[in-house]
Amino acid sequence: MIYEQFIQNKSIAALNIGFKADENTYPKMIKDHQRVGVTWALKRGRAALFFDTGLGKTLSQLTWGDQVARKTGKPVLLLAPLAVSKQTLREAEKFGIWARIVTDQSQVGDGINITNYEKIHHFDCSKFGGVILDESSILKGINGKTRMLITDCFANTPYKLSCTATPSPNDFMELGTQSEFLGIMSQVEMLAMFFIHDGGETSKWRLKGHGKKRFFEWLATWGMFLSSPAQLGFDSTGYDLPDLIYHNHIVDTTPTDDLFATPAMGLLERNKARKDSVVARCEAAAAIVNNMTEPCVVWCNRNDESDLLETMIHGAVSVSGSDTDEHKTDSMINFADNKIKCLVTKPKIAGFGMNWQNSNTCVFVGLSDSWESLYQAIRRQWRFGQTRQVHAHIISADTESGVIENIRRKDNQHKDLKSEMDLIMESYLKAEIFGAKVEKTDYTANHRITIPAWMTK
């Protein structure tokens, strides 16, 4: 083997283990960017559709699942967060795709079978021709044992699809989780190939400076990142997000000395600040919501916040972790149908997958240190299809300035990296979908290397 062939064999190449789709059987309502995404994912066999919120991820994954069921003659399993299952079934009925909600293997039938992640142990995963992970970014929030169970159970499943809104480009662990589930590359291999460890904190990994474009090129072989149909040259009319307006409300707390309240710096101090200001923050939230006539969702992080808010806000319905599955599902769907004026819940319960464009106001009774938690919660309302300005009210204690600054820093970092990723990946995306040539400048050697005499002896 000559050296040039050796180097060529080391290049990143897409693995096509799928099949050619029958586009004539796609739902008539499918849009151009969804159609090419589904067709590409079916050709790949194991792929991810990272569609930004409101771009039609649900229709795309249902179409993909319908095609796999037709091709294999076997049922397809779609795993989704609890309340999202019922919402997905509604979408399937609207688009004319056969699907059902199931809780164990005995209920499984032809076509698409929808269940939630927590019920995975009730199924014989070897019986399915394909599997879909809806809101797959939730995997990183699931305990390691369950996450590995899902990955191992579907290791030999012929066709796999992972779907979620565009991941944060600086959340490399999420991308590794997705890749490992799809069988593309393990998280450990991904980190070793493209990243360098910063030392000290085990979670600090950064892209190797010379390998950034190679990393994005690799991502494009198995993941379709789409923020707008315009990225693929399609009409993006109707895919403009309205303004997002933040309203900051600062609650005064009792000073720790005679002059001023001391900002909470460490995690323990921040948690204490949140605990000490629960009543004041809940009162501020109730004052905002009780003066509204439109539906509103109130996000909290603590159980004592949820309990207080339900008593302080007129017509509020609380959804907490200890509630029954039926109560959680019915409450979230009823809020989407404007049957509930105010829904009080936590981002970890309802922050993924729900479509709440019927409402344009949300209130955060407090912030955690998780930027993604805030981002995902806001995107339930601030998404394509929303026709009004979205107002996000952030209520925090005067001692929590450090948390707010941390969230702002992460938000700015996300925007910068997202823009950079979109710019780099656009040509790779078009190359993957349409076979277009990737624009790049090859290295041209202009000087011959001179080998020192002592090296030739």
Count helices and strands in the chain by DSSP H and E runs: 15, 15
Per-residue pLDDT, averaged over 437-441, amounts to 47
pLDDT attached to residue 7: 43
CA–CA distance, 76 with 42 (Å, rounded to integer): 14
Per-residue pLDDT, averaged over 211-232, amounts to 85
CA–CA distance, 158 with 395 (Å, rounded to integer): 48
Domain borders along the chain are: 3-238, 244-403
Is the CATH code 2.60.120.260 the one for domain 3-238? no
pLDDT tens digit sequence for 4-39: 554 444 445 556 789 999 999 999 999 999 999 999
pLDDT tens digit sequence for 88-101: 999 999 999 999 99
CA–CA distance, 397 with 173 (Å, rounded to integer): 32
DSSP alpha helix (H) spans, 251-299: 267-276, 278-290
| 195-197 and 205-207 strand pairing | antiparallel
pLDDT tens digit sequence for 409-420: 777 777 777 777
Instruction: Give the list of residues 6+ apart from residue 254 with CB closer than 8 angstroms, or none.
Output: 261, 276
244-403 matches 3-238 in CATH topology = yes
pLDDT attached to residue 143: 58
Q: What mean pLDDT is reported for the chain?
A: 83
Token readout for 322 is 């200890």
How far is CA 151 from each of CA 80, 115, 154, 331, 332, rounded to the nearest angstrom? 15, 16, 6, 31, 29
Q: How many beta carbons lie within 10 A of that of residue 454, not counting itself?
A: 6
The proportion of the chain whose per-residue pLDDT surpasses 90, expressed as a percent, equals 48
Task: Classify domain 244-403 by CATH number.
Answer: 3.40.50.300
Helix (H, G, I), strand (E, B) or coil at 299: strand
Is residue 377 a contact partner of residue 364, using CB atoms and an 8 Å limit? yes
Looking from the CA of 136 toward its CB, the CA atoms found within 13 Å total 32
CA–CA distance, 90 with 94 (Å, rounded to integer): 6
pLDDT attached to residue 259: 46
Q: E strands along 122-222, which residues? A: 130-134, 159-164, 195-197, 205-207
pLDDT attached to residue 137: 74
